[in-house]
Amino acid sequence: MKIWRLAFVAALAPMGAQADPVADFYAGAGKEIRAVIRSEPGSGYDQLTRLLARHMPRHIPGAPAFVSVNMPGGGGILAANYLANVAPKDGTILSIVGQGLVADQALGLSPQLKADVGKFNWIGNLQSSNQMLAVWHASPTRSLEDAKTRETTIGTTGAGSASVHYPTFYNNVLGTRFKIVFGYTSGPAINLAMERGEVEGRGTNTYASYLSATPHYIEKKLIRPLIQIGVKKDPAMPDAPLLLDQPVRDEHKAPVAFMSKAATMGRPLATTPDAPPDRVAALRKAFDATMKDPAFVAEADKMQAEIDPMSGEDLARLVNDILAAGPQVRDSVLALISAPQAAGAK
């Protein structure tokens, strides 16, 4: 009996000592993870990606090095197409995907989007802050009700961007009178236009982005949120009404639900389609651990980067839900976000 027990233990020993294949892969000579950044250096996407790159490696088996690579273009389309069609499908590529691309695909807005984001392996969401339309503190428009009776100039980027879609949607669904001024090159350019009095507000941005890039706007109450859009009210904006709480016509309820879900995409992190499932699982676990890492949390707080994480599993369900919108909902949303007229930027 004693000899049998020793033989049984000996047989189990090699099994218990088996190496972790994920750790072996990431610890391999010269192995690194490329963090593809969909925008230029200094942007919110850039700052969050580099923050993640400083802390996530130690939570990945094998502790691979991270290398951040900026790949701006097409509002994130260039980076998404790279992930889908060019990047190695082995779990060595990560990217915070453009927050509007899931809705973009669902609505068929951009023919240049060749990626199927539904096939991405979603790792987690760093932020799910609501989108908000805000006006400069000097604007006579002080509330959503004011915006229904007074024409308010709103700065946006290119026609077809989210910054145009949201105020147009509000005009068509809520009866607001936002006058869209598009042609500004970026969010910071719209901020400058607000400061100069060229426009009264900005078509869309998140509270977290304002807090990170222009914290004095929040601290000194230089902007006034008129409405927020998401699946629940952001406690940081208690006085800004939530779109889902507004009375709308029955035919607008499904489009409002679609736009509200799409607005919560935030800063979604993904790896490529067809990455090995065990590496995807390890990356998701590493992401979740990073979000709770005291060093990560402390640096995020120092940067005033508001982190509101969502797991990879929950993010994947949200993406699939948005992509599953039926043709009637899609057609209705497309009609409601189409701006019939827009003024050129000064």
* 166 and 225 housed in the same domain: yes
Instruction: Give the span between the Cα atoms of 322 and 105, in whole angstroms.
Output: 9
Residue 101 in any domain: the answer is yes
Cβ atoms within 10 A of the Cβ of 284, count?
21
- What residue type is 200 in one-letter code? E
Burial class of 274 by CB neighbour count within 10 A (0 to 12, 13 to 18, 19+) = middle
In the numeric block, the tokens 């006058």 are attached to: 179
How many domains are there within the chain? 2
Per the structure, the complete domain to which residue 220 belongs is given by: 131-263+330-344
Each residue of 49-107: pLDDT tens digit?
A: 999 999 999 999 999 999 999 998 887 899 999 999 999 999 999 999 988 899 989 99
User: What's the pLDDT band for 306 if we cut at 50, 70, 90?
Assistant: confident
Question: Do 204 and 111 reside in the same domain of the chain?
Answer: no
- Find out whether 262 and 243 touch, Cβ atoms under 8 Å: no
- Looking at the fold, whether 184 and 294 belong to one and the same domain comes out as no
Q: Is residue 80 a part of any domain in this protein?
A: yes
Judgement on whether residues 123 and 136 belong to the same structural domain of the protein: no
Same domain, 204 and 287: no
- Rounded distance, CA 227 to CA 243, Å? 7
The CATH number of whichever domain residue 242 belongs to comes to 3.40.190.10
Nearest in space to 49 (alpha carbons), one of 290, 298, 311:
290
The pLDDT confidence band at residue 29, using thresholds 50, 70 and 90, is low
- Whether residues 190 and 283 share a domain: the answer is no
Indicate yes or no: pTM above 0.75. yes
Are 64 and 104 found together in one domain?
Answer: yes
Same domain, 218 and 113: no
Do 206 and 336 lie in one domain? The reply is yes
Same domain, 102 and 239: no
Which of 102-107's residues contact partners 24+ apart within 8 Å by CB, and which partners?
102/262, 102/265, 102/268, 102/319, 102/322, 102/323, 103/258, 103/259, 103/262, 103/265, 103/322, 105/323, 106/258, 106/262, 106/322, 106/323, 106/325, 106/330, 107/330, 107/333, 107/334
